[in-house]
Structure 1
Amino acid sequence: MGTSEKAGAVPANGAAPIQRFYSDRSWIEGAAEEQLTFVAGMAGVSSVAAFPDLHPGKYGPVGSAILADRIYPQLIGNDIGCGMSLYALDLPARKLRLDKAAAKLRQLEGVWTGNAGARLAGEDLPTDLHNQALGTIGGGNHFCELQVIDEVTDGALLEAAALRKGDLVLLVHSGSRSLGTAVFGSVLDRFDGLDPNSPDGKAYRAAHDQAVRWAALNRELIAERAAKALRCDLRIVADAPHNLVEDHAGGILHRKGAARVDQALVPLAGSRDALSYLLAPCREQAEALASLAHGAGRKYDRRSMTGRAGGTRSDRDSLGRTSFGGLVVCEDRQLLIEEAPAAYKDPAQVLKDLQSAGLAAPVAALKPLVTYKKAVSDTLESARQDKRRRLWDRRAKR
């Protein structure tokens, strides 16, 4: 909630305590700190945890967990259930050709043509629940990335997950797409929060829980599409949603860009030109609200990236490759600039802060090989549509 005018909520007397799990070495914007302070003063909020990936969001701080006695839909936003899923692939790294892999992953573009009804029913979801968007990544910071396990810190934990150095893995970041947007749209004006036991609160929670399950299925289908394109099998290693509400300690826990820690391993995503990490959550600290950082976190917002990256043709061309020798599949030039590596913080520093706070320990580093974001240029498609429209108009005038 960047400003009190946007938030519309009336802060209660006495703000909730804020536990900050980051050091002075972390890049934290003043706007994010202001949002933390405001959220801590909102009615019914009892505790706030902030992580080193903290940055300002549209309605509240991203990279935080907030415990309250009511549901604040704005603290979650429209991408309900968004998260990171890591999958192990049985594809030998020695057989991988990056250029061919990048070409194959372009098959992720467009709608999924599988049996959506059957897969939705398998998750106890309505068979027609936004099935046109199922199996698709979406825009923004969502991605599907082919990675290789590079550096190993805890071999025993990695082996327990049936993984080893040199194995190929797939990291998928996506959410509930149009479903989450529809759910959020129904409560967009409820800045005062929802009583979880009221009819409105129960209706939102039911729709929210469906969106969380839908989002997990969506990541699974994206991974299956990628594995099929690469002609290999896959298995789940970890699924860590980071935009959701849950019951916790007698209240409602809101996670916005904060990963759940109820599993052995949790992925921490870097930028497409930085290492990601596989973490082992440490003993739970009550003040951390059963949460962890979900990634590097933004350093600069999307608007300010115009001019910071891709200023020349050679700069734009360089955005399609990484310093690791990896490839980036993204034909949308503006998205390529907005999501440039310079837009993100250093994930290694995020990891250091989590270690120093005793929240997590590194298990392995994951090197990016091919990052898929978008295989069709919105600008190009728009130009094609304009051309077709002009041709149609000329023909109509004849």
Structure 2
Amino acid sequence: MSSRALTVTLNYDQSKKFAIVLNTHAPKEAILRQARNKFRSKTLSLVFLRGGAHLKDGADLPDSITQVWISKGEPYSGPPIDLTRSTQPGEVRTIGEKSFIDHNAVNQLRLVGVLEGVHVAVGMPDLHPGSRFPIGCAIAAEGIYPALIGSDVGCGIALYRLSSSPRSVSNPSKLASLLRGLDEPWSGDVPAWLRKYGIERSSHFDANSLGTVGAGNHFAEICSVEKIADATVAESLRITEDCLYLIVHTGSRGLGASILSAQTTTESNPYIPPTSPELQEYLVEHDYAVRWAVANRDLVAHRIRQCIYWPSDTRKPMSSWSDDLEKIVEVTHNSVTRHALNVNGETRELWVHRKGAAPADKGVVPCPGSRGDFSWLLQPTGDGQINLQSLAHGAGRRHGRNALHAGTKIAKSSLTTTTLGSEVVCTDTDLLIEERPEAYKDIGGVVGDMEDQGLCKGVVVLRPVVTYKIREGGAARKPDRE
């Protein structure tokens, strides 16, 4: 192999790169050796060619290759191969003046905009980099890209009324102490629960994962009303200042990831054209994961209510549970749905992929902050064209997980009580650090950016009382990623 110049780029943060002169018959080993030194990371293990193909051990580099991407094992996030580029790249928009938006996330969004069939890609104010594609965005395309929906198909947020009378149990420490057994498998009739949601099939995720929050950025949060900004809408939702409410943010707990894995066995970012028979086959699996995730959120909510109000009555008949908890709002923010959109003056039916974006055509949308910040309920406004019928799904990360471990060590006790006086239940020390409030953007700025664009208006502000992350599961449970 003759000497040649090669640009080596860090897959996760593509602003980091260096050039080398390669003159070896074992290019992968040489590239990794220098990359580990330059990027100061011993865990770098994969070399990607443009488009996501792996450079295999002992294989030579084709003469046409001038750049490679180095990965710790996360999926490829570099540009697509030239053949998959659209001849007319889609429009890329970002919404956000008050909110910090990482340039790496914008770069990832731009790469999405050149994919075949993509017409518009919109970054919400909570936009932040993902391992491969950005989180906090909506993408309108002619066909479907399963990887643009993410691995947690069906992930979303639901809001419930936890108490139907003036709050009787609002002490954070007392409430936190009551939340037990929520990481363990539910002991009830799982098939019967799923049948309530039209699910007749089974998966190996049912028995151990249904009714659990999971890790990562997922949570269940007991909250109270801090402020009602729109009394008319709040009244229509039957939200009052003297009750407790529950936010549940979780998804399909591995089921969605298994569906994505089946789609990406031979290609890292497959595209299903609108005329392909595979499109309907994929939608069947997608819709299954979405229904499963809704069932999961409801069961998490019922288990939490059982912990608080029926701690000794563990055998209360499931048939009576539906009358005990009122669901106020339900949204799915990892999904794909069909919408009529105006593209260059022409109305087109397109598939809107939401990867961490809430639908704005289903009514009021919950927009949670960090565990140390307020959460909002938002009323969508406008015609939904500029934002692809979507809103931010939360505050969005400002800092990556690894960055939160740098600097002075923080006492665990200081992370379980927030500046708002709420309690955090989390026995995984790493997760406590990675999910602390400073990791997230200011929710007020995110909401303000959308209000300034005429996309929504604030309805209710909720104050956290107890945020449940994980207790018995500790660090043993694999995090769910959006």
* TM-score, scaled relative to structure 1: 0.90
| Counterpart Cα distance in 1 of 2:441 and 2:231 | 27
Checking the alignment, whether the CA contact within 8 Å between 1:279 and 1:363 is kept in structure 2 is: yes
- TM-fit CA distance, 1:34: 0.3
In the alignment, is residue 341 of structure 1 matched against residue 437 of structure 2? yes
Checking the alignment, whether the CA contact within 8 Å between 2:226 and 2:241 is kept in structure 1 is: yes
Deviations 1:93-126 (A, max 9, x none): 2442322210112331211111110121222213
Match of 2:231 in 1: 155
Amino acid at match of 1:202: Q
Deviations 1:118-166 (A, max 9, x none): 1212222134233121111111000000000111111111011111123
SS in 2 for 1:355: helix
SS in 2 for 1:106: coil
Match of 1:195 in 2: 273
Match of 2:63 in 1: none
Matches for 1:322-361 after TM superposition, within 5 Å:
322-361=418-457
Q: 2:175 aligns with which of 61, 81, 101?
A: 101
- TM-fit CA distance, 1:380: 8.5
Cα separation, partners in 2 of 1:290 and 1:336, compared to 1, 3 Å: same
Matches for 1:42-57 after TM superposition, within 5 Å:
42-57=115-130
Q: 2:301 aligns with which of 200, 220, 223?
A: 223
Q: 2:86 aligns with which of 12, 16, 39?
A: 12
Deviations 1:183-214 (A, max 9, x none): 01101225241124423322221101100111
Q: 1:115 aligns with which of 189, 202, 216?
A: 189
Match of 1:394 in 2: none
In the alignment, is residue 290 of structure 1 matched against residue 290 of structure 2? no
Match of 1:281 in 2: 380
| Counterpart Cα distance in 1 of 2:132 and 2:286 | 18
- TM-fit CA distance, 1:379: 5.1
- TM-fit CA distance, 1:301: 1.0
Checking the alignment, whether the CA contact within 8 Å between 1:21 and 1:51 is kept in structure 2 is: yes
| Counterpart Cα distance in 2 of 1:66 and 1:41 | 11
| Counterpart Cα distance in 2 of 1:154 and 1:33 | 33
Matches for 1:137-216 after TM superposition, within 5 Å:
137-188=213-264, 189-216=267-294
Checking the alignment, whether the CA contact within 8 Å between 1:15 and 1:41 is kept in structure 2 is: yes
| Counterpart Cα distance in 1 of 2:202 and 2:110 | 41
Deviations 1:51-71 (A, max 9, x none): 100001122111110011111
Which 5+ residue runs of structure 2 have no aligned equivalent?
1-10, 15-49, 52-75, 311-323, 341-348, 478-482
- TM-fit CA distance, 1:13: 2.4
Which of the pair has the greater relative contact order for Cα pairs under 8 Å at 6+ separation? 1
- TM-fit CA distance, 1:377: 5.8
Deviations 1:321-352 (A, max 9, x none): 01111100000001111111111000000010
| Counterpart Cα distance in 1 of 2:169 and 2:333 | 34
Match of 1:131 in 2: 206
Cα separation, partners in 2 of 1:217 and 1:69, compared to 1, 3 Å: same
SS in 2 for 1:186: helix
Structure of larger gyration radius = 2
Instruction: Return 193-202 or 230-239, whichever deviates more.
Output: 193-202
Instruction: Return 239-248 or 116-125, whichever deviates more.
Output: 116-125
Matches for 1:227-306 after TM superposition, within 5 Å:
227-231=305-309, 233-249=324-340, 250-306=349-405
Checking the alignment, whether the CA contact within 8 Å between 1:158 and 1:164 is kept in structure 2 is: yes
SS in 2 for 1:108: coil
Cα separation, partners in 2 of 1:217 and 1:197, compared to 1, 3 Å: farther
| Counterpart Cα distance in 1 of 2:270 and 2:218 | 30
Checking the alignment, whether the CA contact within 8 Å between 2:149 and 2:335 is kept in structure 1 is: yes
Greater percentage in helix: 1
Amino acid at match of 2:284: A
Instruction: Return 11-20 or 155-164, whichever deviates more.
Output: 11-20
Checking the alignment, whether the CA contact within 8 Å between 2:248 and 2:301 is kept in structure 1 is: yes
Match of 2:155 in 1: 82
* Aligned residues with identical type, % of pairs: 37
Match of 1:70 in 2: 143
SS in 2 for 1:177: coil
SS in 2 for 1:207: helix
Instruction: Return 39-48 or 184-193, whichever deviates more.
Output: 184-193
Amino acid at match of 1:131: D
Match of 2:19 in 1: none
| Counterpart Cα distance in 2 of 1:126 and 1:377 | 29
| Counterpart Cα distance in 1 of 2:410 and 2:150 | 35
- TM-fit CA distance, 1:181: 1.3
SS in 2 for 1:58: coil
How well do the aligned residues superpose, as a CA RMSD in angstroms? 1.9
Checking the alignment, whether the CA contact within 8 Å between 1:259 and 1:294 is kept in structure 2 is: yes
Checking the alignment, whether the CA contact within 8 Å between 2:384 and 2:390 is kept in structure 1 is: no
Matches for 1:313-328 after TM superposition, within 5 Å:
313=411, 316-328=412-424
| Counterpart Cα distance in 2 of 1:257 and 1:57 | 10
- TM-fit CA distance, 1:261: 1.7
- TM-fit CA distance, 1:376: 2.6
Instruction: Return 137-146 or 371-380, whichever deviates more.
Output: 371-380
Which 5+ residue runs of structure 1 have no aligned equivalent?
382-398
Checking the alignment, whether the CA contact within 8 Å between 1:11 and 1:38 is kept in structure 2 is: no
Checking the alignment, whether the CA contact within 8 Å between 1:73 and 1:190 is kept in structure 2 is: no
* TM-score, scaled relative to structure 2: 0.75
SS in 1 for 2:254: helix
Amino acid at match of 2:186: W
